[in-house]
Amino acid sequence: MPIPWPGSGNFCLVHVSLVPVLKAVGEQKTKPTQHSVRRLRGLGLTPNILACRCEKPLDVNVKEKLSQFCHVPVANIVTLHDVTNIWHIPLMLREQKTHEALLKLLNLQGYAREPMLQEWMGRAKLYDKLHDLVSIAMVGKYTGLSDSYLSVLKVNSYSTYKFMVFIPLLAGLICDHFAPTAHEAAWRLLKGDDGILVPGGFGDGGVEGKILAAKYAHENKVPYLGICLGMQIAVIEFARSVMNLKEANSMEFDPDTSTPVVIFMPEVSKTHMGGIMRLRSRRTFFQVADCKSAKLYGNVSFVDERRRH
């Protein structure tokens, strides 16, 4: 279905493109951006602003070359180079007057206000000065690829501003089938940290290793945060260690377990994964009036909470 053209002044296209550096000669290469803009034009779209992702600020001659071949004014070619933390990016855009270009392209100059960025600038500078170290071990299934837990990594990073500490996440997975040296290295990493985090996940891969990590945290009074699957791991470990339910397990990992402490949600398929999460607000009724959960909510009979599980 064709999309009607909104007209000049009602639409602004910002094209984000990579400007790599050829290591052998240290030259910033514009060809990837030229090709991507050409393909974009083939679809009937012409960028108003080029946001160039690069290691270092673009050289003046590189901007002029991009302007010549991509037909974008030099003033509308923005450098997004590497910085010490992401809080510097909006400040970088402001320094290059990107906001003024947007206002002009969208005919919004009359609504312009001077941005109040004092607090933002303070946070950007604060992050660069963090030096107190609190290390957290993340026990996950896909720790070899950081993008798998990107949201966890980012939230962890943002929390550093609140507590004035630098918190690196050291990822690893404890599995019995690892080679002895790798197994020992994973435990050494875990035991040397100040806290343990077990993020969400699906399937039974590495579950027993995660339970061992929760057990270590429990027995050694190490702070533990379980998110989604990580919380279920904590429930299983508590049932086994404290309640002496040695066969306690989740029905996801062992459908025939004699002691299911985590069960499938009624509406969830037991054979297909994907699209099975509970989303949005959902009402939960407390079956026991004097339980800790009910007391935390003010002794109410039910609670409505937003869910993504």
Task: Please list the active-site residues.
Answer: 228
Cβ-based burial of 207 (10 A; exposed 0-12, middle 13-18, buried ≥19) = buried
b/e code 64-76 from CB counts within 10 Å (16+ = b): ebbbeebebeeeb
Q: How far apart are the first and last CA of the chain?
A: 35
Rounded distance, CA 74 to CA 294, Å? 61
User: 């190490």: which residue's tokens?
Assistant: 222
Angstrom distance (rounded) from CA 46 to CA 44: 7
Which conformational region is residue 221 in: left (phi greater than 0), alpha (psi within -120 to 50 degrees), or beta? left
Beta bridge partners of 79: 52
Count Cβ atoms below 10 Å from residue 48 Cβ, excluding itself: 19
User: What is the residue type of 258?
Assistant: S
